[in-house]
Amino acid sequence: MEPRDNQAEASYTFGDRSSSDIVVRLRNEEGRDDWIYCHSKILTNKSQYFADRLSDKWPTCKILDSRYCVEVICQESDYDHHINLLRLLYLVSDSDDVHEDNLCHNVKSALGILCVAKELSCPQIVTACVNYLEAVPWEEGEEEEILRIVPRIGSEAEPVLARLQPVDQSAVTGIFVSAFRFATSSPPLPLGEIKSSAQEQIEYMITEDDDAPLLIVDEEIKLEVKECVKSLFVRFFQCLEETSFKPLESEDISKKGSFRMVLSDLSWAFQILTKMEVVREFVVTWVDTSEKLVKVVEKLETSVTETVEIRVKIIEVTSKVLEAIGYGTVILPTAKRLQMVKLWLPFVRNTKPLVEPVVTGDEEVESVVRYKIDGEIWQALESSFVSIILALPSADQAEILTEWLSKNGLYPDLTEAFEVWCYRSKVAKRRLGLTGGEEEENGIS
């Protein structure tokens, strides 16, 4: 039988036994054996593999029927992909553009056909699959499969991976700066979810986990971040001024919402500054404004839910600031540290009953609002207060502890500071050699 080369490609129909001059025999190890009726002109024009198998140079070309039956061994999982590939060979044309949307129906199918097309040397089908995969969206599982398969295909499949390639630092920096500006801009509430996403991704970009941080933080980035935080503080001071001149009434929901939002953004910004090791300006600014902030907030009506939530947000920021001071991340003069304890210890003590139930004997009194602070924040505040107090002069410690004991040891628990103060005070003369000095002055040798 002579190959029917004189027929136009358009007249060939896949699987048409009456006009076929070649059989592709698909087999697998499970015993499946299918005979696919094809046309040699189609196969040899579109596949180098079949062109070689059907050429006079193939070692078995002289064996009877070898030129009219090509056996292809494949895995069961690839069976349908082989059949689809053979069908697609009838759809692509040398002269016309290949319409990938008509050839591939989903990512899984395109990947399977791509592998078979590469194996059988079908460049047009490879190109069609690559173009399809490069253009369509991928689900997470599909993306992992693409990463497993596509690199094995070769350079012709590189466009598929374009969306996964790393970008240079200038692009990363541009994204980071834009995101940080937006995240600290206190946008309107309808944009809250977008802002939250921006904040999450900023943290992800600078966090080292299984991978190195995406962003290399340099002095230029630190400067930009600090400028954004300064702008955030400007809005914070505006809210504070408005509140100090005209205390927020219960109906001033929008103003209270803005105040809470700015405080939330400050709390988040502090975390970023901590990771970048540039928290000093933030801490100093918060310390300098603490006295006014406490006075303004103490005047607000505590029975109003929004007001209590403002107190909670303030405590969240203050907790971070006190921790930076207490553990020496930021070094401040003694007077500033003493001021922070005297201002914030009563504020925190007065706020805790407003947000958590108070147990009195066998009775539990409900808090003003059902608004909880993470228990770790209360613990962190307690530890920070103890650390700051123990670093103050002994006389200042005594004054703070006296006031605490007069409150019957209410929160925060300063027992550790009390015990350390007692020990230090008792052994102070001996440890500092003062006893010996006094004896010499009294003429005792």
pLDDT at 160: 95
Q: What is the DSSP string of 244-257?
A: HHSPPPTT-HHHHH
- Asked if 4 and 21 count as a contact pair (C-beta separation under 8 A), the reply is yes
Higher pLDDT, 431 or 159: 159
> What does the pLDDT read at residue 15?
85
Tell me how far the alpha carbon of residue 112 is from its chain's centroid. 33
3-class SS string, 140-173:
HHHHHHHHHHHHHCCHHHHHHHHHHCCCCHHHHH
Q: What does the pLDDT look like over 357-383, one tens digit per residue?
A: 655 444 544 444 445 677 889 999 999
C-alpha to C-alpha distance for 3 and 42, rounded to whole angstroms: 11
- pTM for the model: 0.77
d(CA 232, CA 267): 11
Of 215, 130, 123, 132, nearest to 167 by C-alpha is 215
Task: Look at 67-81, 97-111, 267-281, 388-402 and tell me which has the smallest mean pLDDT.
Answer: 97-111
Question: In this structure, is the dihedral angle defined by the CA atoms of residues 326, 332, 338 and 344, taken in order, positive or negative?
Answer: negative
Question: Which of 40, 37, 42, 46 shows the shortest CA–CA distance to 15?
Answer: 37
| pLDDT at residue 364, rounded to an integer | 47
For residue 197, pLDDT over 80 is answered with: yes
Residue 170: C-alpha distances to residues 227, 231, 365 (Å): 19, 24, 57
Say how many residues make up the chain.
445
pLDDT for the residue 371: 58
DSSP 97-156: PP-HHHH--SHHHHHHHHHHHHHTT-HHHHHHHHHHHHHS---HHHHHHHHHHGGGT-GG
Q: Does pLDDT of 94 surpass 80?
A: no
Instruction: Indicate if the pLDDT at residue 193 is higher than 60.
Output: yes
What is the band of 102 on the pLDDT scale with cuts at 50, 70, 90? low
